A and B are shown apart, each in its own frame.
Chain A
Amino acid sequence: MTPYLPADLTVTVHSVEPYSLYLAIAGELDYTTTAQFTYEVNEALDSHRAQQGPVLKDLHLDWSSLTGIDSSALTALLLLHRRAHPEGITLHLHRQPAQMTRILELTGVAGYLTQDAPTVHPPGDSTPDEPTETDVTS
């Protein structure tokens, strides 16, 4: 009886560290909101890059407030992976709902999405904080 209205999606920046960015996603990630998801996460990555330089290594996505998801979310996550990996950013998914786990496992991309990003050495970037980790991943 109640007409289904496309629900809102919100992407909130939880905390910003030089090497890690924490985002929380709330609402519905479906065909109507994937474009917004891509846009807002890219915005967050761009502003992090503008403020901290190209040093980000880990992007953490918290899905605990996600209320709905459909298969088009996969397109958005693969797009994000396509952008993040060349920049040396590894994706981490936290507290994702069962439906999301199901989609990722069904399509066989769960491991691929969260695999470690290749180490990128931005020109003029000296990062003495985590020298050991970069050695290990390369």
Chain B
Amino acid sequence: MGCARCVPLFVIRSPGTPDRPHGGGVHVSTAWAEAPYPVLVTDSVGDVVETNEAASHLFAQAGEDVFVGSLPDWLAQAHRRPTPAVGPPESASGTVAGRTFEAHPSPGEDGCVVWWLVENTDLHLAQQALQGERERTTILADISSALFSSLNVERCTEVTVRMAADHLANAAVVVAPAQGRRHSLTYTQVGGEVAHKTAAIDPRAVPGLTEALQGFPPVPTRWIDPGDIPDWAVPPGFTGPIGSVIVTPLPGYGMPAGVLILLRSSTHQAFSDGEEVFARLFAARAGAALSAARLYAEQASITTTLLRELLPPKLERLHGVEYAGIYRAAKDHERVGGDFYDVHPGTGDSKETFVVLGDVAGKGLEAAVLTGKIRSVLHALLPLSGDHKHVLTLLNDALMNSHHTRFATLVLASVQRRQGEVRIRLTSAGHLPPLIVRTDGRVEEAATSGTLIGALPEIHAQSTEVVLAPGETCLLYTDGITEARGGPLGDQLYGEERLRTALRECVRMPAEAVVERVQMLASQWLGGREHDDMATLAITTPLGGGGTPHLVGEHDDSRPHDREQ
């Protein structure tokens, strides 16, 4: 209440408001003569006929001789505008002596007009500042979305220089942290191409660059002499002398992501304090994006290196025996999982080739890491591969000593070719027994069994030996195949019986074709549903000679018998 009553005391009626539109004219001249606002009276043709003290003072400051004769242009134009038939006459605005005014007309007698000039310089400046801030905010938002849409370091650097040149300066350079003694430099200028260069530069040549590369706050731009800028810090093709320079660090996550150098030619306005602050805001965003991209690149390279060790090997024909393997990880976008296989060639035709296929409980990278361990242990135990039980016992001890709860099932096979047939010693350690595809279409299960590895303190293992005639295959596979859930209703397991049926059609097929076919049938059964890791490895005695498979097959039926006799 009290306040409301006070208000009128502080309200000064705007003299420019035409609350008394017919109050102009000579009668009130004494009233506006001492008014704090510049007032001009113009006659019907637009000549100034009278001014008050404030107006004389203002135009004297402007150093213009307007008031004796004509009006300033913007006011003259407003004067010539016809007075609207209804409502208050239109006001006009313009500058006098570097200040902005709004001129409010009050029509007087005989076509005279009294112009009240109300200064709005501060409002105008505030509006300009607001608009500038809005533009900068928009630019920052654009920068953020452009920078964070990519995790590629080169692309991020390009976007940074491109946006810096477009919005902040005539040209921009990003100096990346040193790689040894060399720095990667990325340049561009307004409307120009982005250029890259890697060079051994001396950062001390640019004032503040050494400090900025270490992440220290930027040196004020007025301390940098544009004449000191070396040639390597100027984009190729940048013409004209440099007028002003900003050197600002690109702050990263715990480490500097590089330095941004902004250049303006001498014909362009020098960087203001506000622009310097804005450049720092820009650099903070660019630095965060660049740093994220760099961290990502490092992680990606580490992952690639680790994955390379975990990927299944490429298999080929060795010592007259065909090997083929296919591995499909549980998640199709992952390349590694809990299944694995390896083929360690014997040192000569007379030596056994050691084959292993296994399955670690679980899926994904965690399981893959354990497969890596098992594969390494088995590789080291290669000289002992003559005794499968011994190898399995040592592997079991190695896994029992580690503290995880994971276990593995695997099949070991020692393969040797002897006079046209292939002898394989097979040992299952809790794994599905391998299936043997005979030339007459029978599918046999290898008579081997044993304990899984890594869970029980004591293990047992029963080995078996099988002989493969030419065209016969021994298939090692993981339960991802038989436990593939799908079929017409989507809830049936593929199962061992379907696998045996499929294998009956694989008689005399090369190893490559057998694994392709089995994986294809299991995938069809799945019909795109989720699945476990699926691995298949075929060991096949190749069919000898040339000719069509049919003819060769007929020969093959007799060949093993000949040799056995």
Q: Are A107 and B452 neighbours in the complex by a CB distance under 8 Å? A: yes
Q: Are A106 and B361 neighbours in the complex by a CB distance under 8 Å? A: no
Interchain nearest-CB distance for B519 vs A (Å): 19
Interchain nearest-CB distance for A113 vs B (Å): 10
Q: Mark A85-119, 1 if CB is under 8 A from B, else 0.
A: 00000000000000000000111110010000000
Interchain nearest-CB distance for A58 vs B (Å): 21
Q: Are A71 and B490 neighbours in the complex by a CB distance under 8 Å? A: no
Of the listed stretches B167-175, B245-253, B454-462, chain A binds B454-462
B419 within 8 Å of A (CB atoms)? no
Residue of B nearest to A2 (CB): B490
Q: Which residues of B contact A109 (CB under 8 A)?
A: 430, 451-452, 455-456
Interface size on A, residues (CB 8 A): 19
B105 within 8 Å of A (CB atoms)? no
Q: Which residues of B contact A8 (CB under 8 A)?
A: none
Q: Mark B356-376, 1 if CB is under 8 A from A, else 0.
A: 000101110000000000000
B485 within 8 Å of A (CB atoms)? yes
Q: Mark A61-97, 1 if CB is under 8 A from B, else 0.
A: 0000000001110110011001000000000000000
| B interface, size bucket | 20 to 34
Q: Are B405 and A2 neighbours in the complex by a CB distance under 8 Å? A: no
Of the residues B362, B406, B460, B490, contact of A108 by C-beta under 8 Å: B460
Q: Are A108 and B430 neighbours in the complex by a CB distance under 8 Å? A: yes
A-facing residues in B438-473 (Cβ within 8 Å): 449-452, 455-456, 459-460
Residue of B nearest to A105 (CB): B449
Q: Which residues of B contact A108 (CB under 8 A)?
A: 430, 449-452, 456, 459-460
B59 within 8 Å of A (CB atoms)? no
Tally of contacts, chain A with chain B, CB under 8 A: 62
Q: Are B529 and A4 neighbours in the complex by a CB distance under 8 Å? A: yes
**Given A72-B361, A75-B361, A108-B460, does the pair A82, B405 have CB atoms closer than 8 Å?**
yes
A131 within 8 Å of B (CB atoms)? no
Most buried by A among B362, B407, B430, B529: B430
A31 within 8 Å of B (CB atoms)? yes
Q: Which residues of B contact A78 (CB under 8 A)?
A: 405, 407, 455
B302 within 8 Å of A (CB atoms)? no
**Given A78-B405, A108-B449, A109-B430, does the pair A2, B455 have CB atoms closer than 8 Å?**
no
B119 within 8 Å of A (CB atoms)? no
Q: Mark A7-41, 1 if CB is under 8 A from B, else 0.
A: 00000000000000000000000010000000000
Complex Cα spacing A108 to B455, Å = 11
A1 within 8 Å of B (CB atoms)? yes
Q: Which residues of A contact B3 (CB under 8 A)?
A: none
Of the residues B431, B449, B451, B491, contact of A2 by C-beta under 8 Å: B491
Q: Which residues of B contact A72 (CB under 8 A)?
A: 361-362
Q: Which residues of B contact A123 (CB under 8 A)?
A: none
Interchain nearest-CB distance for B434 vs A (Å): 13
Interchain nearest-CB distance for B527 vs A (Å): 10
Interchain nearest-CB distance for A30 vs B (Å): 9
Q: Are B405 and A4 neighbours in the complex by a CB distance under 8 Å? A: no
Complex Cα spacing A129 to B485, Å = 49
Of the residues A71, A75, A82, A105, contact of B483 by C-beta under 8 Å: A71
Q: List 6 A-B contacts (CB under 8 A).
A: A72-B361, A74-B361, A78-B455, A108-B430, A108-B452, A108-B459
A residues apposed to B, CB below 8 Å:
1-4, 31, 70-72, 74-75, 78-79, 82, 105-109, 112
B residues apposed to A, CB below 8 Å:
359, 361-363, 405-407, 409, 430-432, 449-452, 455-456, 459-460, 479, 483, 485-486, 488-491, 529, 532
